[in-house]
Amino acid sequence: MLVAKDPSLTAWGFKSSPLMIDGVLYISTSLNQVAAIEASTGKQLWVFDTETWKLGRPANLGFNHRGVGYWTDGKTARILMPTNHAYLWSLDAATGKPDPDFGDDGVVDLAVGLGRDINRRLYSVISAPMIVKDVIVVGSSISDGPRQKEMPPGHVRGFDVRTGEQRWIFHTIPQGDEFGADTWENDSWKYSGNTNVWTVMSADPELGYVYLPTGTPTNDWYAGHRLGDNLFAESLICVDAQSGERVWHFQMVHHGLWDYDLPAAPNLVDIVVDGKAIKAVAQVSKQAHIYVFDRVTGEPVWPIVEQPVGKSTIPGERASPTQPIPSRPKPFDLQGISGETLIDFTPELRAGALKILEPFDYGPLFTPPSLKGTVNLPGWGGGANWSGAAVDPDTGIIYIPSVTGPMVVQLRKGDPEKTNFDYVRGGGINRIRGPEGLPLTKPPYGRITAIDLNTGEHVWMVPHGEGIRQKIIELGIPDPGPVGARGSAGPVLTKSLLFLAQASQQKSVLRAFDKSTGAVVHEIELPGRPYGTPITYMSNSRQFISLTIVEAGTRAKLIGLSL
């Protein structure tokens, strides 16, 4: 009804994953309502409308929300909902009514308390908060298309779950004489923004630590105005959840120029490496590396080596001379454009791919953007993305869905009447296709990779979906088998099966894979396009899988499948 009256309210998918607590599902909608639903029947119990949609289209991707948080002390229970317009609500889990003791009659203004005034229209929250004991940890989503180098900072904050009081702030862009401020040359820490945790965080409640995966600073492609390594951008940061104090950190990308935000919650798992028990944290990345650390100390489980990378040709820019590359595990998707990655079903297709590349710069991972245009592989969509990975606590095997999506980044001089950036990303060119309408690279174009985190070895890799298999056959090319496709939702793992939903031009499906081999065990057609990561739960002695879908482009639904 709302969307029909005002098309600007159209959401970008329905990405939320519900929480199941004591037989009730709690979920946020793309327009920032919160609902409680009976888990065994789908009956609506209550709905609360934050009315954030009345404030207009939010920053960045518009109406786009991924879930709520839950807290209880055994007597009272609360649902915590950060909105796209930067308000944090605390709702009674039984009734859906705002908690009058929290903030201002149930709501806290997240645009206040960042240490500088910000433009609310550039600042949003899209992911569920992380709650550790009595602290709510909240990140942010900040516009990726800035016109000015002065942007809201992506500092992460902790709030008291009972009162809403801001208890601490962690400066993802260090301020003044703080550790790391010297990695922002010419005092660029004073005005630079982003460097935010837009995705989901993880926490170890026994250690009391929360793990923050951060993104790229302002802006994604040009950084001549923020020379230096730019801590704590594109880093995994371990923070004490009670105090906000940094315990350890590791930066995956120095002086980011590729929009290689850390896109997903890190996976916590206990492993045994060379006979040594390790409490580990594994972070998947857009660049198709997985970085594995001791989650207590931050020590890499296997060496991560600084390796030389290409120089920037943009005036005023200074790319980092090295980037950290894990020695193990090996990448889980293609990296960089070369003869090894190009499509080669026939010599003619390979020659066509080379001709398409001729106008551009290209090379290995971390080849910087240029005025000609640089082909990045992976592009800004990954590799891995916000749907993340699933890890088996019994075996230590992690399952990573990923896509192979090259893109072109071309810079041009900034117009001083429109921007104070010396260079901005040019228009027009983005995705790059191969000859005959095929992809530029070899298949698979979507894949699932299983990696044993006890050894760092790949266990198996399978294409995810049929993809453009039929189109390839119609070109007279021998049947290549499944070649994989984009459009994957997040994974959920059970004792015996791995579940992944996927949308394609032909149909939307939920597949069950044998987690030991990657073989498809069963496939269920879905009534709409899947977006959110499924959950599975028991209710009234029946096992359910619940996930969000969108029918016919606008009808968003939460559905439940019973096994």
**pLDDT tens series, the chain, 563 aa:** 566 677 667 777 899 999 999 999 999 999 999 999 999 999 999 999 999 889 988 988 889 999 999 999 999 999 999 999 999 999 999 999 999 999 999 999 999 999 999 999 999 999 999 999 999 999 999 998 899 999 999 999 999 999 999 999 999 999 999 999 999 999 999 999 999 999 999 999 999 999 999 999 999 999 999 999 999 999 999 999 999 999 999 999 999 999 999 999 999 999 999 999 999 999 999 999 999 999 999 999 999 999 999 999 999 999 999 999 999 999 999 999 998 899 999 999 999 999 999 999 999 999 999 999 999 999 999 999 999 999 999 999 999 999 999 999 999 999 999 999 999 998 666 889 999 999 999 999 999 999 999 999 999 999 999 999 999 999 999 999 999 998 878 999 999 999 999 987 778 999 999 999 999 999 999 999 999 999 999 998 999 999 999 987 678 899 999 87
Give the helix/strand (H/E) hosting 471: helix 469-474
**What pLDDT is recorded for position 426?**
84
Nearest alpha-carbon partner for 430 in 367, 376, 486, 467: 376
| Both tokens assigned to 553 | 């482009």
Extended strands (E) in 93-183? 107-109, 123-124, 130-132, 135-138, 141-142, 156-160, 166-170
| Both tokens assigned to 435 | 């000859």
The answer to whether 197 touches 140, Cβ cutoff 8 Å, is: yes
The single-letter code of the amino acid at 63 is: F
**What pLDDT is recorded for position 429?**
64
Residue 394, C-beta contacts closer than 8 angstroms, at least 6 positions apart = none
Give the span between the Cα atoms of 259 and 287, in whole angstroms: 10
Assign 90 to helix, strand or coil: strand
| Both tokens assigned to 346 | 């026939």
The answer to whether 345 touches 472, Cβ cutoff 8 Å, is: yes
Nearest alpha-carbon partner for 547 in 520, 528, 523, 521: 528
Category of 480 on φ-ψ map: left (φ > 0), alpha (ψ -120 to 50) or beta: alpha
The answer to whether 265 touches 202, Cβ cutoff 8 Å, is: yes
**Residues β-bridged to residue 293:** 281, 300
Residue 298, C-beta contacts closer than 8 angstroms, at least 6 positions apart = 238, 247, 248, 249, 250
Bond prior to 332 in cis (omega within 30° of 0): no
**Residues β-bridged to residue 509:** 502, 525
Give the span between the Cα atoms of 505 and 487, in whole angstroms: 10
Nearest alpha-carbon partner for 401 in 390, 415, 414, 417: 390
Give the span between the Cα atoms of 80 and 139, in whole angstroms: 13
Give the span between the Cα atoms of 416 and 273, in whole angstroms: 55
The CATH superfamily holding the domain 1-241 is Quinoprotein alcohol dehydrogenase-like superfamily (2.140.10.10)
Residue 182, C-beta contacts closer than 8 angstroms, at least 6 positions apart = 228
Give the helix/strand (H/E) hosting 37: strand 33-38
Tokens 């930067």, located at residue: 86
Give the span between the Cα atoms of 44 and 42, in whole angstroms: 6
**What pLDDT is recorded for position 507?**
86
**What pLDDT is recorded for position 10?**
72
Assign 9 to helix, strand or coil: helix
**What pLDDT is recorded for position 302?**
98
Nearest alpha-carbon partner for 325 in 301, 338, 307, 299: 307
Give the span between the Cα atoms of 531 and 546, in whole angstroms: 12
110 CB-contact burial (10 Å; exposed 0-12 / middle 13-18 / buried 19+): buried
Nearest alpha-carbon partner for 205 in 241, 170, 245: 241
The answer to whether 50 touches 81, Cβ cutoff 8 Å, is: yes
Nearest alpha-carbon partner for 16 in 472, 489, 488: 489
**What pLDDT is recorded for position 3?**
64
Domain ranges of the chain: 1-241, 263-452
Give the span between the Cα atoms of 453 and 500, in whole angstroms: 21
Nearest alpha-carbon partner for 87 in 41, 132, 53, 37: 53
**Both ends of the chain: CA-CA distance in Å?**
33
Check: pTM over 0.85? Answer yes or no. Answer: yes
Per-position DSSP letters for 55-86, written without gaps between them: G-S-STTSS-----EEEE-SS-EEEEEE-TTS
Neighbours of 542 (CB within 10 A): 12
Give the span between the Cα atoms of 394 and 307, in whole angstroms: 34
Residue 122, C-beta contacts closer than 8 angstroms, at least 6 positions apart = 59, 142, 143, 146, 151, 152
Give the span between the Cα atoms of 25 and 27, in whole angstroms: 6
